[in-house]
């Protein structure tokens, strides 16, 4: 296999990425798309058998919410999901930024508590309708909401893992150009010139991620740092100390409280001699 035959994780061509995912994970094609829109994914790729959208824009597309699909449990082999990735209020405070995305997907006034909630509900529904070892392809992009960096791909991977998916693969779609908003006068974050195609399998993950550790309620950051240190120490393998002979310089006094049952000094790790310590 030469370099030209290798399936790479990055590309400037969306169709190339989708074809590569199908070749690796969906040899029979994509069966369902709950965010079909105008079908731009499928100009050169076989159209899914089941096409849905919240607001259908083409013939043959059925209206349905991605969180409530008309399919029985474990009945679908593969899903392509391309939801919106932005949210927030407009400059007049009247709600979500207007445009094509609003007309197509509805209203998401907040990324963390509205848009991500939709992602969570969709992941649960996809897990329900996918067959064991079924494939979910999730296109997403990180975004900035009200000056806060929202790493959506991290949230999606974490939640999918908790639902029961195995994060199998990740592809990065690169862009050479991006639209710049007219209100962006001072840059506070790097502009995103990439998006993701995440590939999940409905199976128990063979990789164990530390996602169940939740930050406990602490009175101060110092308490939290100590908590993490204690957790790390508990995770370290227990090392049995080597048997120690009589400590050099030990007074070996009969009344020494630091001697063990064998008569050896039990003041392990301490530099002071027994006679320099307090004895009865």
The predicted pLDDT at position 170 comes to 97
Token pair of 239 as six digits = 């090392």
Report if residue 275 sits inside a domain. Answer: yes
148-150 vs 10-11, strand pairing mode: unpaired
Q: Write the CA distances from 273 to 176, 241, 270, integer angstroms.
A: 71, 20, 8
Q: Write the CA distances from 265 to 38, 242, 249, integer angstroms.
A: 81, 14, 10
Q: Where does a domain end: 168, 201, 234?
A: 201
Task: Verify that 191 and 265 share a domain, yes or no.
Answer: no
The predicted pLDDT at position 192 comes to 79
Report if residue 252 sits inside a domain. Answer: yes
The predicted pLDDT at position 186 comes to 73
User: Angle at CA 41, nearest 5°, toward 36 and 44?
Assistant: 130
Q: Where does a domain end: 180, 201, 222?
A: 201
Task: Verify that 81 and 188 share a domain, yes or no.
Answer: yes
Task: Verify that 186 and 254 share a domain, yes or no.
Answer: no
Task: Verify that 64 and 158 share a domain, yes or no.
Answer: yes
Phi, psi dihedral angles at 71 (to 5 degrees): -140, 150
CATH of the domain at 131: 3.40.50.150
**Cα-Cα-Cα-Cα dihedral sign, residues 40, 43, 45, 51:** positive
Report if residue 206 sits inside a domain. Answer: no
Task: Verify that 27 and 91 share a domain, yes or no.
Answer: yes
Report if residue 209 sits inside a domain. Answer: no
The predicted pLDDT at position 134 comes to 98
pLDDT in tens, 90-124: 555 554 444 554 554 455 666 667 787 888 889 99
50-53 vs 62-63, strand pairing mode: parallel
Task: Verify that 164 and 271 share a domain, yes or no.
Answer: no
70/200 Cα distance (integer angstroms): 21
Specify the pTM.
0.69
Q: In the chain, how many domains are there?
A: 2
Q: Where does a domain end: 176, 201, 226?
A: 201
- The pLDDT-based confidence of 152 (bands split at 50, 70, 90) is confident
Task: Verify that 33 and 152 share a domain, yes or no.
Answer: yes
**DSSP secondary structure of the chain:** --GGGSPPSEES-HHHHHHHHHHHH-TT---EETT-TT-GGGSSSPPPSEEEESS--STTPEE-BTTB-S--TT-EEEEEE-------B-TTSSSBPPSHHHHHH-----IIIIIHHHHHHHHHHHHHHEEEEEEEEEEE--EEETTEEE-HHHHHHHHHHHHT-EEEEEEEEE-S-----TT--S--S----EEEEEEEESS--SS----S------SSHHHHHHHHHHHHHHHSPPPPPPP--SPTT----TT-TTB-TTS-B--TT--S-GGGS---
Report if residue 257 sits inside a domain. Answer: yes
Burial 6-27 (b: 16+ CB within 10 A, else e): eeeeebeebeebbebbbeebbe
Report if residue 219 sits inside a domain. Answer: no
Token pair of 176 as six digits = 């050479």
The predicted pLDDT at position 248 comes to 46
The predicted pLDDT at position 117 comes to 85
Task: Verify that 174 and 275 share a domain, yes or no.
Answer: no
Instruction: Look up the domain containing 277 and give its range.
Output: 243-280
**Of 23-32, 43-52, 77-86, 174-183, the least confident:** 174-183
104/65 Cα distance (integer angstroms): 12
pLDDT in tens, 7-57: 999 999 999 999 999 999 999 999 999 999 888 899 899 999 999 998 898
Task: Verify that 194 and 247 share a domain, yes or no.
Answer: no
143/194 Cα distance (integer angstroms): 11
């Amino acid at each position: 296999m030469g370099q030209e035959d290798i399936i790479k994780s990055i590309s400037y061509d969306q169709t190339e990425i989708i074809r590569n995912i199908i070749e690796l994970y969906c040899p029979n094609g994509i069966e369902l798309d709950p965010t079909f829109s105008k079908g731009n994914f499928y100009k050169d790729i076989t159209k899914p058998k089941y096409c849905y959208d919240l607001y259908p824009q083409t013939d043959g597309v059925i209206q349905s919410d991605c969180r409530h699909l008309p399919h029985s449990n474990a009945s679908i082999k593969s899903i392509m999901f391309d939801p919106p990735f932005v949210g927030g209020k407009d400059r007049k405070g009247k709600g979500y930024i207007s445009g094509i995305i609003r007309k197509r997907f509805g209203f998401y006034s907040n990324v963390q508590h509205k848009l991500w909630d939709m992602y969570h509900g969709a992941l649960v529904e996809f897990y329900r309708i996918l067959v064991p070892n079924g494939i979910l392809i999730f296109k997403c992009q990180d975004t900035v909401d009200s000056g806060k960096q929202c790493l959506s791909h991290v949230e999606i991977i974490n939640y999918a893992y908790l639902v029961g998916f195995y994060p199998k693969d990740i592809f990065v779609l690169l862009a050479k150009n991006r639209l710049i908003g007219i209100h962006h006068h001072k840059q506070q974050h790097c502009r995103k010139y990439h998006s993701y195609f995440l590939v999940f399998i409905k199976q128990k993950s063979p990789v164990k991620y530390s996602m169940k550790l939740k930050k406990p309620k602490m009175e101060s950051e110092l308490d939290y740092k100590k908590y993490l240190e204690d957790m790390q120490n508990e995770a370290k393998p227990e090392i049995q100390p080597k048997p120690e002979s009589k400590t050099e310089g030990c007074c070996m006094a009969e009344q020494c409280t630091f001697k063990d049952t064998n008569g050896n000094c039990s003041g392990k790790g301490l530099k002071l001699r027994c006679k320099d310590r307090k004895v009865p």
